Amino acid sequence: MRLAADCATSPGFWIDVGSDCSIDIAENCTLHNLFIHCGDRVRIRVGRDSGFSGHCRLLAHEPGSISIGNGCLFGGDVDISVSDMHSIVEVSSGRRLNPPADVEIDDRVWVGQRSLLLKGTTIGVGTVVGAGAVVTSTLPGNSLCVGVPARVVRSGISWHHELLPLD
């Protein structure tokens, strides 16, 4: 596990790690009330200048990876998970139908409060995910995405940390 020395943490920062795991948290991250759970053979990467506010959870109960780019922001009560944390089984064959899948979040993604980013999610550069969205697939870059399931409602957008003056 590598946690850059200049990351800001709080008493709510918590990590539970299984065997053969890799957690890499880059420089200048804000990790307030961040909960990370890794089963065995999990890879988690958080890029530099990323921040988590409120209670956020990175969950990997099964082998897989969560990759978060640089400059990402996460509102409170966001869950990111590589699996369903239970098995769905076909009755006739006994075969499991819900394997885990990686989550990839590119640079400068902003995820609104109480959103869920579920297994197999990929989010492109500069995208904004609205509060309460449930993401289950690929969202293109520079898009505003909202809803259950999340869908693009506007393309060609960007965002800034600071409030800019209105026209």
- pLDDT tens for the chain, 167 residues long, are 777 767 777 777 888 898 999 999 999 999 888 999 999 999 999 999 999 988 999 999 999 999 999 999 999 999 999 999 899 999 999 999 999 999 999 999 999 999 999 999 999 999 999 999 999 999 999 999 999 999 999 999 999 888 888 88
Q: What is the rounded distance in angstroms from the CA atom of residue 58 to the CA atom of residue 72?
A: 14
Angle (CA) 110-51-46 rounded to 5° is 95
pTM of the model: 0.93
CB 116 within 8 A of CB 130: no
Integer Rg of the chain from CA: 16
Kindly tell me the burial class for residue 111, based on how many C-beta atoms sit within 10 Å of its own C-beta (0-12, 13-18, 19 or more): buried
